[in-house]
Amino acid sequence: MPMCKKYIWLAFVALLIFGCGTEESRLEKANRKLGSKQNPIKMYFVPSLEAGKVVSSGEAIANYLEKETRLHFKVAVPTSYAAVIEALGTYQADVAWLPTYAYILAKQKYDAQVRLMTVRNGLTKYRGQFVARSDSKINSLQDIEGKIIAYTDAASTSGYIYPSAILKQRGITPKDYFFAGGHPQAILAVYSGRADVGCSYWSPPDAKGKPMDAREKLLETYPDVFEKVKIVDYTDWIPNDTVTFRKDLPPEMEGIIVQALYRYAQSAEGKKVLKALYDIDGLEYASDKDYEIVRTTLKTMNMDPAELLK
C-alpha cells in the first residue's frame, strides 16, 4: 500500500476509534454516580409558562422524588423547547417534560423514550386553538389570510406545528408571524393588539363549565380576557404532552423515577403541584405508539418534523 494511502487509512481508523470513544466517554460520564450530589439527575422543563412558576413547580417535584427515591435531582428551564430537546441528546438532561411535537423530534433525533403522558379533565388528548380579539372581523380560518399571527414556540405542537400545518394545507398565508415565547404570551399578544391571531392549547372546560384553555392562565391579571379574546377555530386532536427520558439511562433508575412520578400524580400534593405546573390532572403510562398518530398527520401533510424547526 502506498505510504500516503496508508496514512490516510490509519487516520480514518483513528478517527472512528476516537469518535466512538468520545461518545462512550460522554455516556460513561453522564451515568457515573448518577443520582448523587456530584451528579444529580437533571430534570428539564419547557418554558411554556412564566419560567419562575415552572421552576417553583419543578423543584417541588424534585423534592418529592428525592425523598421517595433517595436520589438527587436538579431542575432546569431553558429558554426554548429546542434547547430541552438538545439537552436530552447531549446528556445534559436525563428527564424532560416535553410537549408532543418536541417529543416526536427528540425521538427522531436522539431516540428519546416516552414513559408517561399527562391527563387533563380525564383526557389524554387536547387540541390547538386559533384566537382573535372579540371586536375583530376574524371569524374563520380564511379570515387569517394576510394577518399577523402570534405562535408560542417553534417546537410547540398546539401553538405552532398543527396550526401552521392547517394553514399551509388550506393555502392560507399570513402577513407575518412571530413566536411569543409561551401559550399565555401568545394570548396576551392578541389581547394587547400586537397580533391579529394567536395560537395556543385548548382543553375542555372543567366540571363547572369554566374554560380551561390558555386564556385561563391570564385570568388573574386580565379578568376580562375571556370577553376580549375569542376562539376562532381548532386543530385536530393531539396526544397529550409527555415525561420523556434520554436514551441509555440505566433502566432500573428510569423505572424507579417513573413509578415515583406516577404515585406523586395521585397524591394530594402532586395534584396541586402538577396543576400549577402545566394544568396537569394526572399521569398515565405511555409508549411511542401512542404518538404515531402525530407522525401520520405530519406525513399526510408532507411535513418533516425536523424541517418544521428550520
Domain ranges (residues) in the chain: 33-122+240-309, 126-239
Asked if pLDDT for residue 310 goes beyond 70, the answer is no
Looking at residue 181, what is its pLDDT? 92
Asked if pLDDT for residue 124 goes beyond 70, the answer is yes
Looking at residue 32, what is its pLDDT? 78
Confidence class for position 238, pLDDT limits 50, 70, 90: very high
Cα(249)–Cα(146) distance, integer angstroms: 47
- Residue 107: enclosing H or E segment and its boundaries? helix 100-110
SS3 state at 180: coil
Asked if pLDDT for residue 8 goes beyond 50, the answer is no
Who's near 92: CB < 8 A, 6+ residues apart?
42, 44, 86
Looking at residue 51, what is its pLDDT? 85
- Comparison of pLDDT for 19 and 148, the residue scoring more: 148
Q: Which CATH architecture has domain 126-239?
A: 3-Layer(aba) Sandwich (3.40)
240-296: pLDDT as tens digits: 999 999 999 999 999 999 999 999 999 999 999 999 999 899 999 999 999 999 998
Q: Which residue has the cell 478517527?
A: 15
- Comparison of pLDDT for 18 and 218, the residue scoring more: 218
The mean per-residue pLDDT over the stretch 136-161 comes to 95
Asked if pLDDT for residue 156 goes beyond 70, the answer is yes
- Comparison of pLDDT for 22 and 34, the residue scoring more: 34
Cα(194)–Cα(212) distance, integer angstroms: 23
Looking at residue 26, what is its pLDDT? 64
Q: Which residue has the cell 428519546?
A: 112
Looking at residue 64, what is its pLDDT? 98
Asked if pLDDT for residue 184 goes beyond 90, the answer is yes
Looking at residue 224, what is its pLDDT? 98
Asked if pLDDT for residue 307 goes beyond 90, the answer is no
Among 271, 307, 310, CA closest to 119: 271
Asked if pLDDT for residue 71 goes beyond 90, the answer is yes
Percent of residues, the chain, with pLDDT higher than 70: 88
Confidence class for position 309, pLDDT limits 50, 70, 90: low
- Domain 33-122+240-309 homologous superfamily, CATH: Periplasmic binding protein-like II (3.40.190.10)
The mean per-residue pLDDT over the stretch 75-103 comes to 95
- Comparison of pLDDT for 76 and 48, the residue scoring more: 76
Q: Amino acid identity of 71?
A: L
Average model confidence (pLDDT) across the chain: 90
Q: Which residue has the cell 402532586?
A: 270
SS3 state at 98: strand
Considering the entire predicted model, what is its pTM?
0.76
- Residue 119 backbone dihedrals phi, psi, to 5 degrees: -125, 135
Range with lowest mean pLDDT among 21-25, 64-68, 170-174, 201-205: 21-25
C-alpha dihedral, 64 to 79 to 81 to 220, nearest 10°: 70
- Asked if 33-122+240-309 and 126-239 have one fold, the answer is yes
